[in-house]
Amino acid sequence: MKTSLKKLRGSLWDQPMLAVAQNHLISYPTPSNLNGNYNWGVLAGLCLVLQIRTGIFLAMHYTAHVDLAFHSVQHLMRDVPNGWLLRYLHANGRSLFFIVVYMHLFRGLYYTSYAQPREFVWLVGVVILLIMILTAFIGYVLPWGQMSLWGRTVITSLASALPLVGTSIVGWLWGGFAVDNPTLNRFYSFHYLFPFILRRLSLVHLRALHQYGSTNPLGINAQSDLVDFYPYFYTKDLVAALRLSFGAAYLVNFNPELLGHPDNNIPANPYATPRHIVPEWYFLWVYAILRSIPNKLAGVRAIGLVFAALAALPYMHKPSCRGPSFRRLHKVLVWALIGDFMLLSYLGQQPVEPPYVVLGQRRTVRFFSLLIGLCVRAWADALLANFSLKKSHSKDFAC
């Protein structure tokens, strides 16, 4: 009887759909020395699932029209059963999603998870972050509050800085000569589409990671010390997911507007400019960089340089020198970059007046210096590794 049950269980796991879960979620070989910093990827996947599911139900009650959008959101909050729960889950889940993804990004920088042969994993992650930023910005506009309208006007006008095609892109995004109903319809369509693109890219990201296996904090080859993902790391991820759930429950039930902006609870008024236009907190570092550079085109190029530098890191790093335990300067650079990121986020929400303008410019220069320093450090490590390898080969040949 036991033998037949084992055969039945084995045949079930051999089915195509269940075999994927078996290979990637249960028996996936994982380094035994992973710490809590390697939970962020799973938490990001859970946040994406939450956003897609709540977004589908929110779309059932939303009206993409400038005269009705704000009122449809208020109707959802007041009249639809548990509508407030759906909206606050989606709004605060968005913030938690960005917290998790930023932690995931900085963990990858700290532990040099971008090194070859996992460069494709890193590149897909950079694309995911870029699409996330676009999706969140588009979604922030949909409630059609005061900050939504003016934030959209300021950000979309940045596209006009692009040579030759900038004016055409702005006209296409607006659907006219100003932000109006066609703009809202376009953004609503994109906001519904992009999460499914993110879902597909996340699966590609996961598949590319599992092709070569996970890295580990020491950055060494751990093929001789692997354990199955289930039950050990499944339990660790479950504990992390419960902690994230408690955080989400606190925000939704006790302080749902903590990470939002109060002006967005006011209907959009194109004739009254807010005293201080600020985006959501997860865009503040971008906003601070854009404000610190007087030239519009130079600001757009600077943001592009951030993503270009992130994408270039895998091709400057030598796989033989990976772990931060053996690279003290690398650790200092990453921690300094994290600190500068937080300071830029703080300065981005401050008014455009002294001393915040000068501080923002200094921090922007320091941010790019640290980012370029990471790239130069990776290139120098690769150069020294190649030099030592050639030297050892020449000694062996002489012997």
| Residue in 61, 65, 75, 236 annotated catalytic | 236
| Closest by Cα among 85, 6, 96 to 43 | 96
Could you give phi then psi for residue 214, rounded to 5 degrees?
-75, 155
DSSP letter assigned to residue 30 = E
The neighbouring-strand residues paired with 29 are 228
- 3-state secondary structure labels for all residues of 70-128: HHHHHHHHHCCCCHHHHHHHHHHHHHHHHHHHHHHHHHHHHCCCCCCCCHHHHHHHHHH
Peptide bond into 231 cis (omega under 30): yes
Q: Which residue has the tokens 């030099």?
A: 387
Q: Which helix (H) or strand (E) holds 31?
A: strand 29-31
Asked if 191 and 142 count as a contact pair (C-beta separation under 8 A), the reply is yes
| Residue in 280, 292, 318, 330 annotated catalytic | 280
353 is catalytic: no
Task: Return d(Cα 76, Cα 59) in angstroms, integer.
Answer: 10
Task: Return d(Cα 105, Cα 155) in angstroms, integer.
Answer: 24
> What does the block give as tokens for 238?
């479950």
236 is catalytic: yes
| Residue in 237, 263, 340, 381 annotated catalytic | 237
| Closest by Cα among 98, 48, 47, 90 to 285 | 98
Q: Which residue has the tokens 């039950």?
A: 231
- Residue 385 CA to its chain's centroid (Å): 32
**What is the b/e burial string over 140-170, where b = at least 16 CB atoms within 10 angstroms of the residue's CB?**
bbbbbbbbbbbbbbebbebbbbbeeebeeeb
Q: How many CB atoms lie within 10 A of CB 373?
A: 17
276 is catalytic: no
Give binding residues for a ubiquinone as ranges.
Answer: 210
Task: Return d(Cα 23, Cα 254) in angstroms, integer.
Answer: 40
| Residue in 214, 318, 345, 381 annotated catalytic | 214
Asked if 186 and 175 count as a contact pair (C-beta separation under 8 A), the reply is yes
Task: Return d(Cα 105, Cα 107) in angstroms, integer.
Answer: 5
Asked if 216 and 34 count as a contact pair (C-beta separation under 8 A), the reply is yes
Give binding residues as ranges.
Answer: 90, 104, 191, 205, 210
Give binding residues for heme b as ranges.
Answer: 90, 104, 191, 205
Task: Return d(Cα 63, Cα 295) in angstroms, integer.
Answer: 37
Task: Return d(Cα 365, Cα 353) in angstroms, integer.
Answer: 18
| Residue in 61, 65, 75, 210 annotated catalytic | 210
Active site residues: 210, 214, 236-237, 280
